[in-house]
């Protein structure tokens, strides 16, 4: 049994109990899209090293490229820091009825996913058996889900921007991600068979 916080005690249904707390590592685990952030930072830094001297010498036409380069760097750094802070503050609990994503700093439940109507899960595991689980839909520019059928129209008529933001809901930095994934699948199947 896992010790429960005040808010979790209030939010649980009368016949609901916390069965497990999902353990995670603290830190920033790099993902595929982080390499785009790193590329943007390096590219913008390179461009700025060429633009800043010309701008200082009086070429005012370079104000917009200078501002764009600074914004690319700031946006990439902000995205990485935001995910690190969110990972530091978030805890994951499994009850007998749902998965709870909990913010321990604000002492509130961010989101809960009942096992009866659980969203799509996508497992991303690295070579060290750690990784993350995406809950719901995600931007398929980065990774192809084997369940998805390739269609040319999805490639041609896709949105015209690259989403460098994180997935909306993830279970991040899980040291034994496949074990957690299988545990959640078992809970979903158990709920589906009980109804």
Per-residue pLDDT tens over the stretch 63-76? 777 788 788 888 88
For residue 174, tell me if it sits in a domain: yes
Which residue range(s) make up the domain with 12? 6-194
The edge-to-edge listing of strands for the beta sheet with 131-135 is: 121-125, 131-135, 169-174
The pTM is what? 0.72
- Interatomic CA distance for residues 27 and 67, integer angstroms: 30
If one counts the domains in the chain, the total is 1
For residue 109, tell me if it sits in a domain: yes
Q: Residue 122 is inside which H or E element, if any? A: strand 121-125
101-158 residue pLDDT tens: 998 888 888 899 999 988 888 888 887 888 888 888 665 554 555 555 555 455 444 4
Cα–Cα nearest to 17, from 113, 104, 92, 94: 94
Whole-angstrom CA distances from 46 to 38, 51, 121 are 12, 9, 38
For residue 1, tell me if it sits in a domain: no
């Amino acid at each position: 049994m896992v010790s429960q916080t005040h808010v979790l005690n209030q939010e649980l249904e009368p016949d609901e109990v916390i069965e497990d707390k999902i353990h995670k590592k603290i830190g920033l685990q790099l993902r595929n899209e982080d390499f785009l952030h790193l590329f943007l930072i390096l590219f913008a830094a390179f461009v700025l090293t060429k633009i800043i001297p010309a701008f200082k010498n009086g070429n005012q036409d370079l104000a917009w490229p200078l501002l764009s380069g600074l914004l690319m760097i700031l946006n990439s750094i902000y995205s990485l820091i935001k995910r690190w802070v969110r990972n530091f503050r978030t805890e994951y609990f499994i009850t007998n009825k749902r998965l709870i994503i909990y913010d321990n700093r604000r002492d509130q439940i961010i989101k809960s996913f009942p096992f009866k109507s659980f969203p799509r899960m996508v497992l991303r595991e690295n070579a060290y058996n750690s990784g993350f689980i995406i809950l719901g839909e995600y931007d398929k520019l980065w990774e192809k889900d084997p369940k998805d059928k390739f269609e040319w129209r999805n490639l041609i008529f896709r949105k015209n921007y690259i989403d460098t933001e994180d997935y909306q809901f993830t279970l991040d930095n899980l040291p034994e991600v496949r074990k957690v994934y299988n545990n959640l699948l078992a809970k979903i199947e158990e709920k589906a068979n009980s109804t």
